[in-house]
Amino acid sequence: MIIDKLFKIVEEKGHVCVGLDTDLRYIPQSFLNKYSSLSEGIFEFNKEIIDATFDVAACYKPQIAYYEAFGVIGLIAYKNTIEYIRKKGGIVIGDIKRGDISKTAEMYAMAHLEGEFEVDFVTLNPYMGLDSIKPYLPYIKNKEKGAFVLVRTSNEGAKDIQYIETNENEKVYMKVGKMIQELGEECIGACGYSSIGGVFGCTHVEEGIELRKSLNKTFFLIPGYGAQGGTAKDVALYLTNGNGGVVNSSRGIMLAYKKFEDGEENFSKYARQETIRMRDEILNAIKELEK
C-alpha cells in the first residue's frame, strides 16, 4: 500500500509536505529570464526547490490550477514536475480536488492515476456523494495509489456546509469523515492507516483531538499551517504517536527567500531552510505534547 511508503518517509524525514503552488509572481524575474520558455522556467524553479528540500520533506503537492492557468504550457511544467519527483523516488500528491459523477470520475482517475499526469495520491471532493469517489478505488486497491478526500477544510467558507448539524447531532464534516474511513477499510496498510486519507485544516484547534480519536485509521493531509494561522502546536493534535499526517506549506516555503537581501539569488537555499525550520518546529511540538 502506498500509505506504508508515506508513513515510513514521515518517520524518516518529518511531516512537511511542500506545496508547489507555483504562481509566476513567486519566481524571481532574474531566474525566469534565463529560460527561453515559460514552461521551462516554471519547471526549473520547481526543480531547484525539490532538489533543495528532498531529504527533509515527506512529499510534494503541486496544485494543478496554478499550471492550468497557463494552458498547455503550464500543464507541460506540471507534467515535468511530477515526473521529476517520482523519478527521484518521492511521493506526489496531485492536488486536483476532483468531484463528479461516476463515469466522469472514471476519466479523472485515468487522467491522474496513470498516463502523463500520473501521481501517487490525488485530492478529491466527496460532496457529490461517495459514487464520485468509488471509481478511484481500483487504482487504490490494485495499483499502489491513494487519495486524500476533503473532509474539513481550512477556509472560512467551510462553515457554510461542513458545519451543518445532521439528524444524528453531529456536524456534516464528521459524518463525511466516518464515511471516508469506512470506505477505506479495504485499503489499510501495515502501518494501520488507509490509503484513502482525509484533508483536515489545522485552523480549528478545538476539534483536533476529537477528529484524531474518531478517525484513527485515516491518514491526514493537513493544510492551514503558517499563512492561514495554524501552528505547530495545533498540528501536533492531529497526529498519533508522532505520525498519521503530513502538513502542507506552499507560500511559506516558496516565498521564504523574500525575507533576505540575497533571497532572489538563493531562493532554493531559503526554501530548504524554511522546510527544516518547519519540520523541527512540528517535531518539538509533538515532543511537548507527549510530556
**How far does Cα 278 stand from its chain's mean position?**
15
Q: Which helix (H) or strand (E) holds 152?
A: strand 146-152
**Cβ neighbours of residue 240 closer than 8 Å, sequence gap 6 or more:** 212, 216
Clarify whether 97 is annotated catalytic. yes
Distances (CA, A) of 250 to 18, 107, 254, 256, 272: 6, 28, 6, 10, 12
C-alpha to C-alpha distance for 116 and 112, rounded to whole angstroms: 8
Three-class DSSP category at 94:
strand
Q: What is the DSSP letter of 24?
A: G
Q: Among the options 79, 97, 141, 269, which is catalytic?
A: 97
**How far does Cα 252 stand from its chain's mean position?**
14
C-alpha to C-alpha distance for 128 and 9, rounded to whole angstroms: 33
Tell how strand 218-222 and strand 146-152 pair up. Answer: unpaired
Beta bridge partners of 249: 18
Read off the C-alpha cell for 173: 464534516
Three-class DSSP category at 98:
strand
Active site amino acids? 97
